[in-house]
Amino acid sequence: MDAKAETKPRPQQKPGDVIDGLMFPFAEFPAAGETIEVADGIFWVSTPVPFVGLKQVNLWLLRDGDGWTMVDCSYGGTTQRELIETVWAKLLGGRPVKQLIVTHFHPDHAGGSGWIAEKWGLRPRMSHGEWLTANLAVMNKNTDHVESRGVFYRRHGLDEARVQRFLTGVVLYSDGVTLPKSHKRLRSGDLVPIGQDKWRVIIGEGHSPEHVSLYCAERKILIAGDQILPSITTNVSTWHVEPEFDAVGAFLNTCKTFLDVLHADTLILPSHRKPFRNVQHRLRQLALHHAHRLNVVLDAVGQEARAGELIDVMFTPGLDGHQIGFAMGEAIGHLNHLVALGHLEMVETKSQVSYRRISAKEKKVEPHFA
Ligand SMILES: [Zn+2]
């Protein structure tokens, strides 16, 4: 799940349009129940997501010998199931889905995993970190223990009115997810054969615990998941179960890994919005974007501040209950990164957490990489 739009798309996009330095080979999304072949044997599916601002999520179907590999499952709703069944009926040509890969545990990606697994009699492949987190969240525990999240945001200075808006407005993980009974583990560096190709697992952090992206170096294609998105930025949040986690640092380290590993001409297949090229430019944009936001936060902290006091500085007002949770997670993630960089210290008492400036007032945050 992801945050705020950075740019407004132009009304009439043409194939090959360059927007903000990124080239989009496809002007339109696939229509409901339809696919677009984005590369030989790789088909793009778009399904709706019931979260404000996010709109849709992409799934990928890849020809795989005598069957198909599917990457991601969509949100687990009836509309999404019907769309996927329509796609299967039109595209698969009577051949089975024999492999399902789940990039990460979030409901727009793992939501339909239990249903798809049962339908095709398969065991989904995902990282162990995502599997465990999904199972805790579906029981309304861990990252989805709503009361603990409310306590956490209160400790971090969120005003009571917004704590209540969060508690009453947050969408439960379990609402949109059915999980399979078991999984087959994916690890960093694994080579996953799909048809004639080998796809290397790249593990990312910052958005989810052990996010899987798949890179085919020979074909210069990355199935990015939520780790690299165009037009919107990936939500990078710290959660109550790991309150000192430097989510922003972890995310930027992953961006640097991609900069080092990916060929400059790689076609990026993101989970949200449209496929694009010029990934190195996008990664540098992300490093600049977070440096800018870190400096905004640092200025707003002054001598000392709490995360709840900063979300009006970081986000446009009027967040709904669900968005407040992500906004707080992002604010705390940025503050923890400023601690890691030596600009702030975390001051924690029994009832509250604040952040105090320890670096000289004129010190600024530089981009993580250039
Ligand atoms: Zn997502």
CA of 225 to the centre of ligand 1 (A): 7
- The pLDDT of residue 11 is 55
Buried b (16+ CB within 10 A) or exposed e, 164-179: ebbbeebbebeebbbb
CA of 173 to the centre of ligand 1 (A): 13
For the chain, what is the domain count? 1
CA of 51 to the centre of ligand 1 (A): 10
Average pLDDT estimate for 327-332? 97
Instruction: Say if residue 2's pLDDT is above 70.
Output: no
Task: State pLDDT tens for residues 238-248.
Answer: 999 999 999 99
Instruction: Say if residue 5's pLDDT is above 80.
Output: no
Least confident of 50-54, 83-87, 100-104, 123-127: 50-54
Least confident of 142-146, 261-265, 303-307, 331-335: 142-146
User: Per the domain annotation, does 9 fall within a domain?
Assistant: no
Task: State pLDDT tens for residues 197-233.
Answer: 999 999 999 999 999 999 999 999 999 999 999 999 9
Instruction: Say if residue 4's pLDDT is above 60.
Output: no
CA of 1 to the centre of ligand 1 (A): 4
Q: For residue 158, what are the contacts with CB-CB under 8 A and spacing of at least 6?
A: 166, 307, 308, 311, 324, 328
CA of 352 to the centre of ligand 1 (A): 31
Contact 333, 238 (CB under 8 A): yes
Instruction: Say if residue 276's pLDDT is above 60.
Output: yes
CA of 303 to the centre of ligand 1 (A): 36
Instruction: Say if residue 41's pLDDT is above 50.
Output: yes
Burial of 161 (0-12, 13-18, 19+ CB in 10 A): exposed
CA of 302 to the centre of ligand 1 (A): 34
Instruction: Say if residue 282's pLDDT is above 60.
Output: yes
Higher-confidence residue of 6 and 157: namely: 157
User: Per the domain annotation, does 48 fall within a domain?
Assistant: yes
CA of 329 to the centre of ligand 1 (A): 16
This prediction's pTM: 0.94
Give whole-number Cα distances, 232 to 6, 257, 315, 341, in Å: 6, 20, 14, 25
CA of 366 to the centre of ligand 1 (A): 28
Instruction: Say if residue 16's pLDDT is above 90.
Output: no
CA of 272 to the centre of ligand 1 (A): 7
Instruction: Say if residue 355's pLDDT is above 80.
Output: yes
CA of 108 to the centre of ligand 1 (A): 6
Residue with tokens 């957490």: 353
Nearest-10 crossing angle of helices 321-340, 160-169:
120
Measured from the Cβ of residue 264, the count of other Cβ atoms closer than 10 Å reads 11
User: Per the domain annotation, does 106 fall within a domain?
Assistant: yes
* Residue 52 structural domain: 17-285
User: Per the domain annotation, does 346 fall within a domain?
Assistant: no
Task: State pLDDT tens for residues 84-109.
Answer: 999 999 999 999 999 999 999 999 99
User: Per the domain annotation, does 302 fall within a domain?
Assistant: no
Tokens standing for residue 174: 């379990």
Query: Mean pLDDT over all residues of the chain?
Result: 95
Q: What is the CATH number of the domain that holds 220?
A: 3.60.15.10
CA of 157 to the centre of ligand 1 (A): 28
Measuring CA to CA, which residue among 211, 208, 209 is closest to residue 258?
211
User: Per the domain annotation, does 330 fall within a domain?
Assistant: no
Give whole-number Cα distances, 88 to 117, 139, 179, 213, in Å: 14, 30, 20, 23
Residue with tokens 């583990």: 185
Tokens standing for residue 104: 């990460």
Task: State pLDDT tens for residues 297-309.
Answer: 999 999 999 999 9
Q: Is the dihedral of CA 316, 319, 323, 324 positive or negative?
A: positive
Average pLDDT estimate for 332-339? 98
- The pLDDT of residue 241 is 94
Residue with tokens 């798949």: 214
Q: How far apart, in whole angstroms, are the C-alpha atoms of residue 333 and residue 368? A: 15
* Beta bridge partners of residue 324, listed in sequence order: none
Average pLDDT estimate for 328-350? 97
CA of 343 to the centre of ligand 1 (A): 31
Instruction: Say if residue 3's pLDDT is above 50.
Output: no
User: Per the domain annotation, does 295 fall within a domain?
Assistant: no
User: Per the domain annotation, does 306 fall within a domain?
Assistant: no
- The pLDDT of residue 86 is 98
Q: In what helix (H) or strand (E) does residue 185 lie, and over which residues does it extend?
A: strand 184-186
CA of 204 to the centre of ligand 1 (A): 14
CA of 342 to the centre of ligand 1 (A): 31
* Beta bridge partners of residue 64, listed in sequence order: 67
Tokens standing for residue 56: 């849709």
Contact 120, 95 (CB under 8 A): no
- The pLDDT of residue 142 is 86
Pinpoint the alpha helices (H) of the chain.
Answer: 78-91, 107-110, 113-120, 128-138, 146-155, 160-169, 247-261, 279-301, 307-314, 321-340
Task: State pLDDT tens for residues 141-193.
Answer: 888 899 999 999 999 999 999 999 999 999 899 999 999 999 999 999 999 99
Q: How far apart, in whole angstroms, are the C-alpha atoms of residue 185 and residue 128? A: 6
Contact 278, 263 (CB under 8 A): no
- The pLDDT of residue 248 is 98
